[in-house]
Amino acid sequence: MSENKDSNNEPGQSSSKSRLSSYPPLDRWDDWVEYDAKSWPKKVERHYSLVPTTCFNCEAACGLLAYVDQDTGEIQKLEGNPLHPGSRGRNCAKGPATINQIHDPERILFPLKRVGARGEGQWERTTWDEVLDTFATKVRNALIENRRDEVVYHVGRPGHDGYIDRVLQAWGVDGHNSHTNICSSGARVGYALWQGADRPSPDYANAQFILLLSSHLETGHYFNPHAQRIIEGKMAGAKIAVIDPRLSNTASAANYWLSPWPGTEAALLLAMAAVILKEDTFDREFVRRWVNWEEFMREERPSLPCSFEAFIDAIKDLYSEYTPEYAALECGVKAETIVEVAREIARAGSRFASHVWRSAASGNLGGWQVARALYLLNALTGSIGTEGGVSPNVWNKFVATPFSKPAPQKVWNETLWPREYPLAHHEMSFLLPHLLKDGRGHLAAYFTRVYNPVWTNPDGMSWVEVLRNESMIELHAALTPVWSETAWFADYVLPMGVGAERHDIMSQETHSAQWISFRQPVQRVLRERKGEHIDFTYETNPGEVWEEDEFWIELSWRIDPTGELGVRRHFESPYRKGKKVTINEYYRWIFENSVPGLPEKAKKADLSPLEFMRRNGAFAVKTNIYDQHESRLTDFELEGTRVDDQSRVVKPTATGEQNIGVMIDGQPIRGFNTPSRKLEFYSKTMADWKWPEHTLPAYIRSHVNWRDLDQSAGDYILVPTFRLPTLIHTRSGNAKWLYEISHTNPLWVNPKDASKLGFKTGDLARVSTEIGYFVVRVWATEGIRPGVVACSHHLGRWRLKNDQGTDRWASALVDLDEMGDGRWRLRQLEGVKPFKSDDPDSERIFWQEGGVHQNLTFPVHPDPVSGMHCWHQRVRVERAQSDDKYGDVVVDTKASHEVYRKWLEMTRPAPGPGGLRRPRWFSRPVRPVDDAYLITDE
Ligand code: SF4
């Protein structure tokens, strides 16, 4: 809060009244005055220039406003940007903590090159020229020798929309690898099968009933923008139900907390669907128009008349086995509660919003069916595309087009997209060590980008083994704003800017609107505003911290200096023929040419589109987006199309292209991005791709089903997937405020189980998985279901040297002992402790146990359909043994490779119909040409 004349509570507006203001009005951003808190009780004025940017600490892309002190030229703090349509001036703790990341005394300021063996921890400072030339040669040779599957870019936090896709396609490589299969692809497959879009966009603020799986208020998708709208909905009278074995912050704010056995969630949801069907409280008209019931009847009930009434009888019959009593027994939730929630959902009708992200969909074998089952509730209530309901994410996300779009690559990288997983929603990134060990590929140049697989992925020691192996990975650069466990095993560590030191454009589906947000380097913007000429952002960043956009331009230019490879032309300025594009030109072109309404809006403010975005930081492209599926195809779109006699889909002019609409009640309507253009309750794709038993929303027994546990012997289900609201995987290691708030990850144990096992809070437990064990402290709490234990995946950072490596705010000093034959032991030598630095706070650290790195003990569990790593573990929990120490981790990578092979046996590999590697209608990151989908060697 600040006292300021002429300000009011309305963001971005000016007033003559004198009162407390939450947000500085836009017209005062060039000279904003606040009293200096430290000078209190004296009133000492401080003058700030305010520059908007975008938070880089999670995927939500909230707006930030940097307060730059006009006397010192330093960023004093970062608060919310009130003009941002998604976050509306509000942030979580991680947004303002960007200031810690800027001033982190542990940050990497110069590019580093390893000397000695990989992982030995010997580094020397190098130059960016040397880095760029080394990688340019490596990539150039791969292109010339047509080894276009040997260049891989592996992203942890994307943080931009489409930038790298363009770079990789300019190079002509199939090299995009992401973290998505350890994150969200379970739910994505479920949603994509229904609607052809892999994410939902719930309209929480207008909902009457909200059903959430996972902890959306603190860590959902997209956390702060969604959290504020969930609460807005609640304040307007909506009720909330949360399905989570753990009492999350969201569950604690809900009207209903349903705590089922992990892995049984789909059964619970189908029981709710069965209640709605049985009680005839579903939206008949919506189901008739928009569910692909005709296709279901034709394919699965050919002997019955293809009528809507016959379908209703069939679907009632299909789900009749999911009685509340059955679900109560299977899931461990009271039958009355299931009925009560189902009736609430039906009452909300088209204003029923739901969401599953990560959690059950990412924890379990068959987790993708949780999203299928959940969306069945939306389909039945007609709450798809409605106000207060859920829309396909693509309606609410705006991706701007850059000045040059390279052609899709002609290759298919089987190290990233192996044939065993034709339906995997994203690259099988977490299998990379096993695929490399099996000799299925080899990497010439590997870029990890804000990604820390050694720590974040399951089975981190297998990653260490391949990262150290120069015959598997020739050259590895870690592009990162912060030290990480993975960077330690790289050849080059390349410091990249944090949220106030780089450019990106982002958009997310936070509500029923489309917006873009501009991340920008604050110091550069201010200096350019003063008329200074800046060539590169690193000139205004600390040390030699680069921004990635400029790195990729420079690298691409050096890969193809003469233009002979066809790369260079995509990096030539759209404004100066034959010259290298500058970052200002890159964004100037986008804002001038590909954001509808922005040039007009900028003109009204007497600014160029680029200046407008530099001033405002965000722009609302569209608002109130509903019912897009109901729009009629235009005469222009219909030209040359034909309607399929049986399915009534509107077929495109050219073969191979996707269907563009469907005839409904005699009208050509756009529909959804599925083959039938309807919501696919029945998925022919699943039948065609060898999974005929999974064509409908159904319940798949998880690999951690409670019935398989030997509870008397100490077997439990471990839920390791939950985030803490204040941490951000690897990137919060450099944020002291965040570690001050959250710094340890105890094992949540129900008091009944604690007493059975002889534990009290603070005792040490040994938790054993299929490939090893970890030692952690117990927290006895009613916040977890009996029979289940939980541990947050955010903590347990480590470093191998005292004064270098993962930030000391967060990490323990460890000894990593390679015991031979694939066995490793990680033991903490020292916990987190105070250290001397330029920041006096580093000597005030009071926390000591920085958590346990549990992910090391998880083998890979790739779901055979979605490709999602199934995170939940069946574990044995017992008292720690006499030589166990807090934080110990012991693993066996040979055993983990065996588990990988066991799960591989569950797959049903490509080719599918027509010799394809993957259904062409499925989206794919950095999509190659259609021909690349064909398997030609069989
Ligand atoms: S939710 Fe928090 S961390 Fe994520 S973008 Fe918003 S402010 Fe940043």
What are the tens digits of pLDDT across the range 447-492?
999 999 999 999 999 999 999 999 999 999 999 999 999 999 999 9
Q: Looking at ligand 1, which residue's alpha carbon is closest to its atom 2?
A: 92
693 CB contacts (<8 Å, ≥6 apart)? none
Q: Directed axis angle between helix 324-331 and helix 335-348, to 10°?
A: 120
Contact (Cβ atoms closer than 8 angstroms) between residue 273 and residue 373: yes
Confidence label for 5 from pLDDT (cuts 50, 70 and 90): very low
DSSP bridge pairs for 21 = 2
Q: Which of 218, 223, 737 to mutate to test the pocket of ligand 1 (most atoms within 8 A of CB)?
A: 223
Give the ligand 1 atom nearest the CA of 96.
7
Residue 320: other Cβ atoms inside 10 A: 12
Confidence label for 21 from pLDDT (cuts 50, 70 and 90): low
Task: Dihedral sign for Cα 230, 231, 233, 237, please.
Answer: positive
Please give the structure tokens belonging to residue 713: 């012997």
Give the ligand 1 atom nearest the CA of 60.
5
Confidence label for 18 from pLDDT (cuts 50, 70 and 90): very low
In this predicted structure, the answer to whether residue 7 has a pLDDT above a threshold of 90 is: no
pLDDT digits (tens, 9 = 90+) for 518-536: 999 999 999 999 999 999 9
pLDDT digits (tens, 9 = 90+) for 876-933: 999 999 999 999 999 999 999 999 999 999 999 999 999 999 999 999 999 999 999 9
Please give the structure tokens belonging to residue 261: 């056995």
Identity of residue 443: L
In this predicted structure, the answer to whether residue 14 has a pLDDT above a threshold of 80 is: no
DSSP bridge pairs for 201 = 391
Residue 117: other Cβ atoms inside 10 A: 10
| pLDDT confidence of residue 220 | 66
Contact (Cβ atoms closer than 8 angstroms) between residue 614 and residue 518: yes
Give the ligand 1 atom nearest the CA of 227.
1
In this predicted structure, the answer to whether residue 216 has a pLDDT above a threshold of 80 is: no
Q: Which of 92, 217, 226 to mutate to test the pocket of ligand 1 (most atoms within 8 A of CB)?
A: 92
Residue 358's region, left for phi above 0, alpha for psi from -120 to 50, else beta, is left
Q: Directed axis angle between helix 265-278 and helix 335-348, to 10°?
A: 60
Q: How far apart are CA 246 and CA 220, in angstroms?
A: 15
90 CB contacts (<8 Å, ≥6 apart)? 62, 80, 224, 228
Q: Which of 53, 54, 57 to mutate to test the pocket of ligand 1 (most atoms within 8 A of CB)?
A: 57
119 CB contacts (<8 Å, ≥6 apart)? 464, 467, 468, 488, 489
| pLDDT confidence of residue 228 | 94
| pLDDT confidence of residue 4 | 41
Q: Say how many Å lie between the CA of residue 688 and the centre of ligand 1.
A: 41
pLDDT digits (tens, 9 = 90+) for 557-602: 999 999 999 999 999 999 999 999 999 999 999 999 999 999 999 9
Q: Is 277 helix (H, G, I), strand (E, B) or coil?
A: helix
In this predicted structure, the answer to whether residue 110 has a pLDDT above a threshold of 80 is: yes
DSSP bridge pairs for 906 = none
pLDDT digits (tens, 9 = 90+) for 234-272: 999 999 999 999 999 899 999 999 999 999 999 999 999
Determine the average pLDDT of the residues in 402-420: 97
Q: Which of 224, 226, 228 to mutate to test the pocket of ligand 1 (most atoms within 8 A of CB)?
A: 224
Q: Looking at ligand 1, which residue's alpha carbon is closest to its atom 1?
A: 224
In this predicted structure, the answer to whether residue 16 has a pLDDT above a threshold of 80 is: no
Please give the structure tokens belonging to residue 681: 């309750």
In this predicted structure, the answer to whether residue 219 has a pLDDT above a threshold of 80 is: no
Q: How far apart are CA 259 and CA 250, in angstroms?
A: 13
Confidence label for 279 from pLDDT (cuts 50, 70 and 90): very high
Determine the average pLDDT of the residues in 498-511: 96
Distances in Å between the Cα of 800 and the Cα atoms of 268, 449, 487, 807, 884 are: 46, 21, 12, 11, 20
Span of 3-7, 321-325, 376-380, 734-738 with lowest mean pLDDT? 3-7
Contact (Cβ atoms closer than 8 angstroms) between residue 649 and residue 676: yes
Whether omega for the bond prior to residue 222 falls within 30 degrees of 0, making it cis, is: yes
Q: Say how many Å lie between the CA of residue 121 and the centre of ligand 1.
A: 33
Q: Which residues of 735-755 are buried (b: 16+ CB within 10 A; e: fewer)?
A: bbbbbbebbbbbbbbbeebbe
Contact (Cβ atoms closer than 8 angstroms) between residue 155 and residue 179: yes
Give the binding-site residues of ligand 1, using a 6 Å CB cut-off.
55, 57-58, 60-62, 87, 91-92, 94-95, 223-224
290 CB contacts (<8 Å, ≥6 apart)? 379, 382, 384, 629, 671, 672, 678, 679
Distances in Å between the Cα of 594 and the Cα atoms of 162, 589, 599 are: 14, 8, 9
| pLDDT confidence of residue 793 | 86
Q: How far apart are CA 882 and CA 396, in angstroms?
A: 56
In this predicted structure, the answer to whether residue 34 has a pLDDT above a threshold of 50 is: yes
pLDDT digits (tens, 9 = 90+) for 95-104: 999 999 999 9
Confidence label for 218 from pLDDT (cuts 50, 70 and 90): low
Q: Say how many Å lie between the CA of residue 96 and the centre of ligand 1.
A: 9
Q: How far apart are CA 23 and CA 671, in angstroms?
A: 41
Confidence label for 116 from pLDDT (cuts 50, 70 and 90): very high
